[in-house]
Structure 1
Amino acid sequence: MKYLVTDAAGAVGHRLAATLVAAGHEVLAFSDSPVNGVASRAWPTRADVLARALAGVDVICAVDLATVAPDAAPALLKRLDKLRVAAGKAGCGRFVLLGRADIYDPALLADKTLLERSATAAPADLAPPAAAALALEESLRAGAGLDWTILRAPMILAPDSAEAKALFRRILIDDAPSPARFHPVDARDVATALATLGTHDRAGGQVFNIAAPAALAARTLDQELGRLARLLNDEATPQDKLRPPHQVADPVLATDKLARLTGVTPTRPIWVSLAETMQQVMKDLRADGTLPPLPEKINPVVKAVELGQKLLAGKTAVITGVTSGIGRATSLLLSRLGATVVGIARNAEAGEAWEAALAEGRHTVPGHFIQADLMSFARIRTLAADLATRFPRIDILINNAGANFPTRRLTEDGVEATLAINHFAPFLLTNLLAGPLKAAPAARIIMVNSDWHRRSLPDMHDLQMESGYRTGEAYCRAKFMNLQITYAMAALLDGTNVTVNAIHPGVVRTGISTRNTDGAPQVPAQARERAQQRMISPEFSAVYLASLATAPDYEGQSGLYLDTDEIKQSHEATYDEDWAWQIWEWSAQITGLTPASA
């Protein structure tokens, strides 16, 4: 069928047009502004042009009066009455008018629930929009040869409803009184109803009320608008975050006739409609300077990616453990920010796939993969020499590679494996790359740590757990020692252009607890799945690492411990300088590094 929708760019009109198009109807829009997805034109001013425009139109939906400004109402009435007359001559099937509920007698609005047959006010007592709506209703009833349906709506809620926004603004800013009973309707519910009334066989010659499923008392409206304003202005108390159980008021409009004859029942909760409209009210208040702007909440890294900004253009970032989990996600993110990423991992095949992903990505910079087993001190030395030759300036070093072995095993260097990968590898590699790091204008070293470091302190008499190995304790102690050497390294690098910080990236779905499990008891699948549902994704965690690598807030800051995006205090014992230097000297001796060489 072919519909004509007036005011098709307005709060109701554009939603109605979209509903009709989705249902497969042809839509013609009378609108002073373009309407997405439908043919639109300005209102015809000549009768012959209007007649031609109405050719083939089955249903007219006139929605202007529900939202018209008072000063524009008389002219609009003349325009709509001409459309009514022309529609009858053109043989249009039905004229659906979106009227106004404020045509009812004001004396009844105070405490009555109004039926469609309830008394209306005298025209002289009505505001111009309501007077125009009542006049057009009477013309439709008196006219011949044109089927009609009238839908009377109260205040329409939508982010683009000028009337609703003006009311909320007066209540919030001018302390104006709220209506004794507030019984609005959501614009989407109105659009759905109009689309149905255009063709429903029981709608012809009928007048219907429409309103939200619930009405609010003035006090309730005041409280809810205040709560929403505090939430949207970052002034909320803990109590504001959960809407209290307000009592609803008696309805202003009876809507059972609409449901009984056509099956149409508004479904949008009034609380949702209020919140959506209030969001736009608060935006408008900030835009016109009534309220100060809120600080930007979007993470700068996410914003840079969305805008295609290359914050790291021309910089080199070295990341260990790039073939999966946090390392892979972080490497892709830094590459999208313009960095040349050098990825280190043990699995050559996975590394080649990672390198190909960077080369083939639309928004990533080609990177370089170097295969290396970071549990071998000899291989770390070869890797560091290779990196220093190929990349004489390294701007970012992220020591991310880690593992947790369920049973005690030794590397080729005779070192316990969990300690080797989580502590000795970043210690040795970072020290060996001191030259390329110091060659950068402002280099940042990031140690990927874990809040699990708090759970078990190293035993200075058994640092490699020879007397009794427990997998969880081995991991916790390795991360504890990693923090100790991070703080010691920060002290050594003080006054240089290199900073070093540690970060707990969150509880991340990386598989570190499910890899390297030879000989370990298996966690039941359901328990593992429940645990993973509470974790964050590697991509989410990567934003924290990328922020630490790029944010101006961390420029020149060293020796920090971050829990995701917050600077926190690590375990108090990690700040024991004497203990830290004992761990440093022992680590240097084990790895063959000159003590305090950074």
Structure 2
Amino acid sequence: MGKQDVKGKKVIITGANSGIGFEAAKALTAQGADVVLAVRNEEKGKEAVQNIKKEHEGAKVSVMALDLADLASVKTFADAYKERFDQLDILINNAGVMVPPYQKTKDGFELQFGGNHLGHFALTGHLLPLLKATPSARVVTLSSIAHRKAAIDFSNLDGSKGYKAMKFYRQSKLANLLFAKEFDNRLKQAGINAMSLACHPGISATNLFKVGGERMQPIVKSLLYRFFQTPEMGALPTIYAATKETLKGGEYIGPDGRGNHKGYPAIEVPAKGVYDEKTMRKLWDVSEELTGVVFDFS
């Protein structure tokens, strides 16, 4: 069993102007998919489109504005997409911020939980009608090995009772993983012909690793590539989750090397006790409450 044919399939990738999202976009357009890069910075998005078209003449790729740290922007994007297309085969919830100083989204959420989790939660909810209307649709949400030491602190989601950047990053990536699994459970319960999966890139040398907001020094970059995956390799779990025919939904895909830091994609078992049903349900309810987006599984 190989990869599904993605020719002519409609794909959205968030944060696809650089790093893993960009590599996934390149790979899927090369296979004939029609890809929308959903990005905050439209100029960078247009540049990415040009770069993809240079490599693959006739590539079907376009850019649309999406700011996951602004729920109004998320709704505007989803409405605009639904006007333009009547199907959505693959949604890749890829965009993310990592360990920023304490700041809030437009709606007052802590930036990492708000952008990495709640923004994608709301986006998926708004696009659910299209996913339901598209046979065998897939939603792929990016988590991280950082989820392993994480817990969801429901009493301090906004960071007002203290903020540690890495702790909140871990929390957001755990939320991504729990959302992906709970969403798949609910799709199956409702008998909807769609699946939700999670994946992670191992440790990839991407723009997330910008030091102090500046691009890395060449020496740091060469060290990163020695110890970590290239963005091309880091994108493989995403592509695998989006296209592998044998997947049933609910799986977690990551690199197969030591500690899942590097390697080729394989089904991975998350840390023990991660899929706690009570936590998953609570996170879902809190996410619907905070975003005002209620998923319609009927």
Regarding TM over 0.5, the answer is: yes
3-state SS in 2 of match to 1:341? strand
- 1:264-343 matches, cutoff 5 A: 311-343=5-37
Q: For 1:458, which of 147, 152, 168 is the aligned residue?
A: 152
Q: In the alignment, which of 59, 68, 75 is matched to residue 381 of structure 1?
A: 75
Cα distance in 2 for residues equivalent to 1:364 and 1:462: 48
Measure how far apart 1:394 and its partner are: 0.4
Give yes or no for contact 1:490–1:559 (8 Å, CA) kept in 2: yes
Matched, 1:574 2:263: no
- Secondary structure (helix, strand or coil) at the match of 1:499 reads strand
Percentage identity across paired residues of the two chains: 29
Residue matched to 1:593 = 293
Deviations 1:430-464 (A, max 9, x none): 11101111111211110011011012212222123
Tell me if structure 2 keeps the 8 A contact 1:481–1:583.
yes
1:550 aligns with 2:225: no
Give the match for residue 562 of structure 1: 253
Measured on the aligned residues, the alpha-carbon RMSD in Å equals 2.3
Change over 3 Å in CA distance of 1:339–1:395 after alignment to 2? same
> Unaligned regions of 5+ residues in structure 2, if any?
256-264
Structure 1, gaps ≥5 residues long:
1-295, 302-309
Alpha-carbon distance between aligned partners in 2 of 1:319 and 1:422, rounded to the nearest angstrom = 14
> Does structure 2 conserve the Cα–Cα contact (< 8 Å) formed by 1:331 and 1:341?
yes
Aligned-partner Cα distance in 2 for 1:573–1:590? 26
Judge conservation of contact 1:338–1:364 (CA < 8 Å) in 2: no
User: Quick one: structure 1 residues 536 and 410, their matched pair in 2 at CA, closer, same or farther if it must change by over 3 Å?
Assistant: same
Matched residues in 1 for 2:41 and 2:161: separation?
32
Structure 2 match to 1:354: 48
Deviations 1:68-92 (A, max 9, x none): xxxxxxxxxxxxxxxxxxxxxxxxx
SS at match of 2:161: coil
Which amino acid is 2:251 matched to? L
SS state at 2:197 partner: strand
Q: Does 1:438 align with 2:138?
A: no
Gap change, CA 1:390 and 1:514, over 3 Å in 2: same
Residue identity opposite 2:266 in structure 1: E
| 1:105-184 equivalence runs, <5 A | none
Deviation track 1:491-519 (CA, whole Å, cap 9, x = no partner) reads 1100211100000122111121316x46x
Structure 1 residues 142-192: Cα deviation after superposition (integer angstroms, max 9, x where no partner): xxxxxxxxxxxxxxxxxxxxxxxxxxxxxxxxxxxxxxxxxxxxxxxxxxx
Return the alpha-carbon distance in structure 2 between the equivalents of residues 428 and 573 of structure 1. Answer: 26
Rounded to whole Å, the distance in 1 between the matches of 2:76 and 2:100 is 29
The 8 Å contact of residues 142 and 176 in structure 2, kept in 1 or not, is answered as no
Check whether the contact 1:395–1:437 (CA below 8 A) recurs between aligned residues. Answer: yes
Larger radius of gyration: 1
Q: Which moved more, 1:340-349 or 1:532-541?
A: 532-541
SS of the aligned residue for 1:342 comes to strand
1:187-209 deviation digits (Å, cap 9, x = unpaired): xxxxxxxxxxxxxxxxxxxxxxx
Q: Secondary structure at the match of 2:208?
A: coil
* SS of residue paired to 2:83: helix
SS in 1 for 2:293: coil
The residue matched to 2:156 in structure 1 has which SS?
Answer: coil
Q: Secondary structure at the match of 2:26?
A: helix
Number of positions where the alignment pairs a residue of Structure 1 with one of Structure 2: 286
Q: Matches of 2:70 and 2:179 in 1, distance apart?
A: 19
Q: Distance in 1 between matches of 2:25 and 2:11?
A: 8
Deviation at 1:533, TM superposition (A): 2.0
In 2 relative to 1, CA 589–568 (structure 1 residues): closer, same or farther, beyond 3 Å?
A: same
The equivalent residue for 1:499 is 195
CA distance in 2, matches of 1:355, 1:529: 27
Q: 3-state DSSP class of the match of 1:367?
A: strand
Distance in 2 between residues matched to 1:481 and 1:358, nearest whole Å:
31
Residues 32 and 60 in structure 2, CA contact (< 8 A), matched pair in contact too: no
Instruction: Please say if residues 335 and 364 of structure 1, whose CA atoms lie closer than 8 Å, have aligned partners that are also in contact.
Output: no
Q: Is the contact made by 1:574 and 1:580 (CA closer than 8 Å) also made in structure 2?
A: no
Within 2, Cα distance between the matches of 1:358 and 1:525?
A: 24
TM-fit CA distance, 1:335:
0.2
Q: Does 1:534 align with 2:235?
A: no
Report if the CA contact (8 A) 2:93-2:141 is conserved.
Answer: yes
Aligned partners of 2:216 and 2:155: how far apart in 1?
32
TM-score by length of 1: 0.45
The CA deviation at 1:366 is 2.2
AA in 1 matched with 2:267: I
Correspondence 1:472 to 2:160: no
Deviation string 1:250-292 (CA, Å, 9 cap, x unpaired) is: xxxxxxxxxxxxxxxxxxxxxxxxxxxxxxxxxxxxxxxxxxx
Counterpart AA for 2:254: D
Is this contact kept in 2: 1:447–1:503, CA < 8 A? yes
Aligned to 1:203: none
Instruction: For 1:316, give the aligned amino acid.
Output: K
Task: State the Cα distance separating 1:490 from its structure 2 match.
Answer: 0.8
Equivalent residue, structure 1, for 2:97: 403
Deviations 1:394-426 (A, max 9, x none): 000000000114311011101111111211111
Contact 1:330–1:545 (8 Å) recurs in 2: yes
> Are the equivalent residues in 1 in contact too, given 2:142–2:177 (CA < 8 A)?
no
What is the DSSP-based 3-state SS (H/G/I as helix, E as strand, rest coil) of the residue aligned with 1:553?
A: coil
Quick one: structure 1 residues 526 and 467, their matched pair in 2 at CA, closer, same or farther if it must change by over 3 Å?
farther
SS in 1 for 2:82: helix
Contact 1:342–1:370 at 8 Å: present in 2 too?
yes
CA contact (8 A) 2:6 2:28 kept: yes
Shift of residue 476, structure 1, vs aligned partner: 0.5
Task: Report which structure shows greater RCO (CA 8 Å, sep ≥6).
Answer: 2
The alpha carbon displacement at 1:393 in A equals 0.2
Judged with a 3 Å threshold, the aligned counterparts in structure 2 of structure 1 residues 394 and 481 are, in CA distance, closer, same or farther, namely same
Match of residue 424 from structure 1: 118
Whichever residue aligns with residue 229 of structure 2, its letter is: I
- TM-score normalised per structure 2: 0.89
